[in-house]
Structure 1
Amino acid sequence: MNNIAATEGPGQIELDETDQGIIDLLRDDGRMAYRAIARELGITEATVRARVRRLEDSDTMRVVAVTDIEAAGFGMLLAIGVQVENRDPEAVARDLAAIAEVFSVNVVVGTHDIEILVVAPDSAGLNDLLSETLGRVPGVRRLTPALAVDVLKNQPDWVPFHGA
């Protein structure tokens, strides 16, 4: 799945209605042809091409691929709290970040020292991940997994962006 990240900040270009239209269409379908965008917006294909280039060159927009975890074979999504003992939490976090099934790592203040998001294909894979992989990282004292039973929002393309 392709998604568009659009940001505004210092040095960014001013977006007009045409730019916003292009961004909106590409957010819906990151592979949409310039000809189709032009037809939708009532502008020329050359204008779309020039605008997209300008948006990308100014780092205002970029098209990125986002993996659908279920399509990739992972049926389980978990948030896991990690308590650390006898080791710097940042070092443990770096080790956890190197594990393929871990896709988000945050050093936090609270009940846990680190919070991670992980995927597993099934319960057997989850058991291996927890006991054989995550549990064996030096400094990991306790893992507190929370299985996502109903994902209400997972928006990997979200950015703090407000249209023109």
Structure 2
Amino acid sequence: MSVEIDDLDRGIIKELSVDGRMSFKEIAGRLNVTEKTIRLRYKSLIEKEIFEVVGVVNPIALGLKSGAIIQIKVKPDSIPSVIEELKKIKVIRYITLTSGDYPLLVQIAVSDQQEITNIVLKLNQIQDITETNSIVQLGVYKNTFEYI
């Protein structure tokens, strides 16, 4: 679904991507429009599902100091069922379908290296997973939600 947005919508998204708690009044001042205009545009962006308001958690503050990206090979025609199984694993925070030898990629955030090992062992128990490749994250240097 592609929805057309204009420069004002982009401006609102950009401002809120930097500071999600910024007031409509402040956004209006920065973008040289009325507060009412911002309020109406914001409501429209939410209704069209272009924009969603969420709290972004710092995983390290919660004790989640280790992370990994895990590539997953699966039996042919089993991708949908494997995705459903992966969705049930709470520490998996991201699942994507990819091109190449490993059609699925997941990202996890856990407290320590042992938990990474436990997740890999758990993945290897899922019947239609044939192979995994783990990439342990040693450091994160950019993690942004700015798309515009």
TM bin (shorter chain): 0.7 to 0.9
Structure 2 length normalisation: TM-score? Answer: 0.74
In 1, Cα distance between the equivalents of 2:9 and 2:112? Answer: 43
**Alignment RMSD:** 3.0
Aligned match for 1:100, one of 69, 85, 90: 90
- In structure 1, runs of 5+ residues without a counterpart are 1-7
What do the CA deviations read for 1:75-134 (whole angstroms, capped 9, x no partner)? 122111223359823322321122111122234453334322222210122222222x22
% identical equivalent positions: 24
Residue of structure 1 equivalent to 2:129: 140
Kindly tell me the number of residue pairs found equivalent between the two proteins. 148
- What SS does structure 1 have at the residue aligned with 2:61? coil
Aligned match for 1:37, one of 27, 32, 37: 27
- What SS does structure 2 have at the residue aligned with 1:143? strand
- What SS does structure 1 have at the residue aligned with 2:62? coil
Pairs within 5 Å for 1:123-162: 123-131=113-121, 133-155=122-144, 157=145, 159=147
What do the CA deviations read for 1:45-73 (whole angstroms, capped 9, x no partner)? 33332332233344444433333332333
Q: 1:146 to 1:64 in 2, by over 3 A?
A: same
- Asked if 1:54 corresponds to 2:44, the answer is yes
- In structure 2, runs of 5+ residues without a counterpart are none
CA contact (8 A) 2:72 2:131 kept: yes
CA contact (8 A) 1:56 1:62 kept: yes
In 2, Cα distance between the equivalents of 1:43 and 1:113? Answer: 46
In 2, Cα distance between the equivalents of 1:23 and 1:108? Answer: 27
Residue of structure 2 equivalent to 1:28: 18
Of Structure 1 and Structure 2, which has the larger fraction of its residues in helix?
A: 2
CA contact (8 A) 2:28 2:34 kept: yes
The structure with more radius of gyration: 1
